Each structure stands twice: as C-alpha cells, then as structure tokens.
Amino acid sequence: MLSSLTHRFVDVNGVRLHIAEQGEGPLVLLLHGWPESWYSWRHQFGALAAAGYRVVAPDQRGYARSEQPADVTSYTLLHLVGDMIALIEELGEEQAILVGHDWGAPVAWTAAMLRPDKVRAVAGLSVPPILPGGMVPPSITRTQYGEGFYQVYFQEPGVVDAELAKDIPDSFRRILVGASGDNPDSTEPRPLVIPDGLGLLDTMPESPALPDWLTEEDIQVYAEDYALHGEQAFTGAFNWYRNIERNNELLAPFRGRGIDVPALYLVGDRDMVTSLSGPGGLASLTALVPRLHDPVVLPGCGHWTQQERPAEVNSALLDFLAGIDGSTAR
C-alpha cells in the first residue's frame, strides 16, 4: 500500500517540509509525534484514502527528512501550528481535519483552539488537550517528579541528543519497544523518571524480540531518515521539548479558551501518558472540548497508538470522520 504514496517537499512558514500523501477528497493531516515521522501513519493512509479523504502526513519541522532550523526558539507551538496552517493553504485547501499523535496531538489541539476557521475537526492520540500551552511546563513537572523526569531531562542541549545519535537504529529499537504495550518488562503506566547518573536508553533495555506490530524494516525506515541530520539526528525533535515553558508563556493570552470543533481522543490503557493525567482524567475533557466524542481507550495498547492498534484506530477515525457535519467524503 505504501507504494501508492507520493512524496514531495513543500516550503511553508519559512521551512522546507517533506510530506507523504495519498487519496482525494477532504483534507486530513496526520501529525506524528516524538521520535517518529510520516511513517508512523503507514497503516492509516490506505484506510482513510479508500474512504474518500486526501491524506497528507508531513515530517514536522526538525524531524526526519524535513528541515531542522538551528535556533532552538524556532520550535514553539506557534511555529508548529503556523506550519500546519501554511501547509493547508499550500495544498490549496481552505480547511483540514487534524489528527495528531504524541507531540502531534498538542499541535493539532492548539491549532483547533487558535484557528477553528482552518481546522474543522480534530483528533488526538495519546496526549489529551492541555490548554493553552500544550503540555505542563518544566517549572511545574520538576517539582512533581524531580530532575529526572524525562521532559526536564531533555532540556539540556546536546546531552540526550548525543546519547540517541550514537546508534540510531538501537535508539529506535529501545524506545519503540520500551514504550509499547507489548513490552513484557513494563508494569502499570507510570511517569518516566530517569535515575540519577543514567541516560534515557538505560531505562529501556534492549529487547531480544520485537513486538508483532514492529519489524526491523520499520526501525530502518526511521533510522535512515533521522540519519540525514548526522550528529543532530534528534536535536530538532528535542527542541520541541525545550520550548514547553516558552509555549505556556506565549499562549497565556488564550488561557480559558477551549476547542469549539468536533473532537476525538484515543489512548491506550498501558500508555505512560495516562499516568500524567490531571484531576478528573478523561471526564474533565468535556469542559475544554464540549464537542468531544466518547473517548476511545484501547486495552493493552501502549504509547504507539496507531502503530500498535491500527485496525481499532482506523475504525475509530472513520466513525468519527463520517459523523462530522459537512463531510463530503464518498
């Protein structure tokens, strides 16, 4: 099915992005998370295109085949949302449905909050809407979980970047298996805190076997695209984390603003993100997103939602898309 995809580069919002696309109809943008790429949606292209949608998945700025701006301050949510709004226009469309996983979810949620004229519906996988700044800032998570909390650990430029770039395939193997719901060494979801003196990969020992949803070929696709940036293979991706505090400052004027468009949230019950939910959990989402469909919780699924459970995710997305007012998909 991937052979039917087309690949090209587009210049949007001051950066050059690689995109993969398939199908015709209403535009659906699929936004990957960390540390992924367009390839994380490999199981969604065919299903959505067959249902009558134009499906486009970019490598977001700093990732894989796309351009990696050198300035760390070029990775705020305002930049990232700006990329997607500009991409919609570059593709010749007035509006799009945004579907985001992991870091792609805050981009999608924030775009829906700021530009409901451009985003007619939104779906988030793994990460729920945490408005207005996308994620809780390190000034707070540091007090909750300590200096070893992974988002705090990622703040120091160059350290974790070099750790993961040393052996890119091994890094992907450890991270993808480690956060999978199929990882036999995992227990109940809990915040990822890196012990003092250790690195990120030390918390994710090498597994002798891959889960059924992941192949060595999958790992190589990710690794080869990231290797295009050499020693900076992961730096652009980590720079997203280095703007969490800045995002909350820049988006402060929108505090209290919710999401007005139809929305969907999907998460695995073994996803580490579920351990970070605030008071009220899923029940509190309707206050922020009044047009939220019933959240979908996938039993046994870990962090890599659409890769681990493609059939269930595709079914939920197609059901959601079919119910959006004004949908013209065939």
- What is the spatial distance between Cα 316 and Cα 95, in angstroms, rounded to a whole number? 21
pLDDT single digits (tens) 124-169: 999 999 999 999 999 999 999 999 999 999 999 999 999 999 999 9
Whether the model pTM is above 0.85: yes
Which of these is catalytic: 18, 229, 293, 303? 303
- What is the spatial distance between Cα 175 and Cα 171, in angstroms, rounded to a whole number? 6
Which of these is catalytic: 59, 102, 161, 218? 102
Whole-angstrom CA distances from 183 to 198, 291, 293 are 21, 35, 30
Contacts with 25 (C-beta within 8 Å, 6 or more apart), sequence order: 52, 53, 54, 328, 329, 330
Known catalytic residue at 303: yes
Place of tokens 């994710």: 204
pLDDT single digits (tens) 220-266: 999 999 999 999 999 999 999 999 999 999 999 999 999 999 999 99
Alpha helix (H) residue ranges in 28-167? 45-50, 77-90, 104-114, 138-145, 150-153, 159-165
Number of Cα atoms under 13 Å in the Cβ half of residue 155: 15
Known catalytic residue at 43: no
Residue 119, classed as helix, strand or coil, is strand
